[in-house]
Amino acid sequence: MRTLVIDTRQQKGKHEAKHSEFRRMGIESVRSKLPAGDYAYAPKVAVDTKRDLYELNACLTVEHERFARECDAVPGSILVILTENDQGVRCLADLEAWVETDDALELRMLKSGGNVRKRLVGSTMAKACRTMHGHHGTYFAFCPPEEAAAKIIEILDWGEAVGDGGDADGAGPSCD
């Protein structure tokens, strides 16, 4: 079931009869600013972009609690995390095989003033992505930066099809 979004400009308490009826009908709702109108269905799918594998890693580790809350922000919607990268990672299987190069690790160490000592390992990140999917229903997709716009549209189209009963196998966005 999709989530009903109630515009934050709707005065609290003034529409309680409707809101009570929504709850009685089993309709989940959230309050959020809408560009127009007072009520809308939450999108079937949303895409959150990450600039690179390092930002994704930070979300999965250091910022995990905040990231998990974001993944759960709109019940009834599908969230896809699209990570842009130049490392050839196009799906979780690719991420699982990826290991940060010596040059990339050295550059990260220089940028951080020597505070980085551990190499990023894709298999660890892929495991965390699968865990996030299992606990929060979040999907993960990957593409080169120059393909990001097309990939976003592909993901949104995929999400609409899932919401309309298509692609029921749960495989998520395609892995090219």
- Statement to judge: residues 101 and 34 lie in one domain: no
**Structural domain containing residue 20:** 1-42
Give the number of other Cβ atoms within 10 Å of residue 57's Cβ: 20
pLDDT band for position 160 (50/70/90)? confident
- 92 pLDDT more than 90: yes
- Statement to judge: residues 102 and 130 lie in one domain: yes
The mean pLDDT value for 29-37 works out to: 88
The mean pLDDT value for 92-117 works out to: 91
Strand partners, 46: 79
Q: Where are the alpha helices (DSSP H) in 72-174?
A: 92-97, 102-111, 122-136, 148-163
- Statement to judge: residues 37 and 117 lie in one domain: no
The mean pLDDT value for 132-139 works out to: 94
- Statement to judge: residues 172 and 114 lie in one domain: yes
- Statement to judge: residues 76 and 124 lie in one domain: yes
- pLDDT, residue 169, reads 41
- 170 pLDDT more than 50: no
In 3-157, which ranges are E strands? 4-6, 29-31, 39-41, 45-50, 78-84, 139-143
The backbone torsions φ and ψ at residue 142, rounded to the nearest 5 degrees and listed phi first, read -145, 150
pLDDT band for position 36 (50/70/90)? confident
- Statement to judge: residues 47 and 27 lie in one domain: no
Q: What is the pTM of this model?
A: 0.81
- Statement to judge: residues 97 and 116 lie in one domain: yes
Q: Give the model confidence (pLDDT) of 56-81 as tens digits.
A: 999 999 999 999 999 988 777 889 99
The tally of domains found in the chain comes to 2
- 167 pLDDT more than 50: no
- Statement to judge: residues 64 and 32 lie in one domain: no
- Statement to judge: residues 49 and 28 lie in one domain: no
- Statement to judge: residues 85 and 24 lie in one domain: no
- pLDDT, residue 163, reads 59
The mean pLDDT value for 40-59 works out to: 92
pLDDT band for position 10 (50/70/90)? confident
